[in-house]
Amino acid sequence: MYQTTIKKPVELVGIGLHKGSAVKLRLEPLESNSGIIFYRSDVDVSIPLLPSNVVDTRMATVIGKDGFVISTIEHMLSAIYAYGIDNIRVIVDADEVPVMDGSSASFCMLLDEAGIAELEVPKKIMIIKKEVMVEDGDKYVKLSPSPDLKYDFTIKFAHPVIQTQDFVLHFTKQGYKDEIARARTFGFLHEVQYLRSKGLALGGSLENAIVLDDKKVLNPEGLRFGNEFVRHKILDAIGDMSLIGMNFVGNYEAMAGSHHLNHRLTLELLKNPQNYEVIELVGEKTKELEKAYA
């Protein structure tokens, strides 16, 4: 199996969640071993997707360089990672990726339009060799060895619509598109009101997020899945774990995980080479792994 990029450039325009302004997003092919490179065309700054370039994880995963940032990258990265794309240039003309409908479905459609191109260098993949965990009170995220890729997430909210939800995704590209990609981000009405008072979430609406008051979902169309909330948390986790720098094989497990814990997990994993092994997908032994990204 070989490294991949996209066949042709594609672009779209959407609203930025925090500024509420139109943002142009363009995806371009890159050659082998380039990785994922973000570029802000408005300030002429490139930001490679590296854990060391993460500058904020409070409300979204934010990368930055030389004082310039790009926010809310995790939904688009989730789709890129699920499609097994190793090399791609992501261009935006503002400081955030457009939120679209609050899920990664629009980014999946954009990648389908672009198509996937194989390059001439073997694909690298990370095999998790030892359990790695980070905790914050009763919250935790961890990676453990497994013969395949699985995301196992549990959330608990003191809200009558959410309460305790859990979901397990045995990862395949098609499974991601069917079970995860359409799950939207969510927030509570009082939080939205507070954020707007601070000049944030100006682009947030019922068109791009699930919004709840104290008792119910405010979106007229309701939920796309009965447990859409925990499915979106898996969507976020897949995007956040792309900071590892390649697809991995192992079991990801979370109890009330967050962008911050996911970032800490990537740092904890990468600081000790004994935690993992990087292999090239060549020969018959990789056939099972290749199926996940078919």
Asked if the model's pLDDT at residue 294 lies above 70, the reply is: no
- Whole-model pTM: value is 0.94
Q: Is the pLDDT of residue 290 over 80?
A: no
Task: State the Rg of the chain over Cα.
Answer: 18
What is the model's pLDDT at position 285?
A: 59
What tens digit of pLDDT does each residue of 196-251 get? 777 777 788 889 999 999 999 999 999 999 999 999 999 999 999 999 999 999 99
Helices within 25-172 (DSSP H only): 74-82, 105-114
Average pLDDT over residues 136-142: 97
Q: How do residues 33-67 score in pLDDT, each as one tens digit? A: 999 999 999 999 999 999 999 999 988 899 999 99
* pLDDT tens-digit readout, 67-77: 999 999 999 99
In the chain, the percentage of residues whose pLDDT exceeds 90 is 85
DSSP output for 232-283: HHHHHHHHHHGGGSS-EESEEEEES--HHHHHHHHHHHHT-GGGEEEEE--S
Domains in the chain, start-ordered, CATH in brackets?
Answer: 2-122 (3.30.230.20), 125-291 (3.30.1700.10)
| Closest of 222, 4, 14 to residue 105, by C-alpha | 14
- Summarize the confidence of residues 159-166 as an average pLDDT: 96
Show which residues are catalytic. Answer: 259
What is the pairing mode between strands 163-170 and 68-70? unpaired
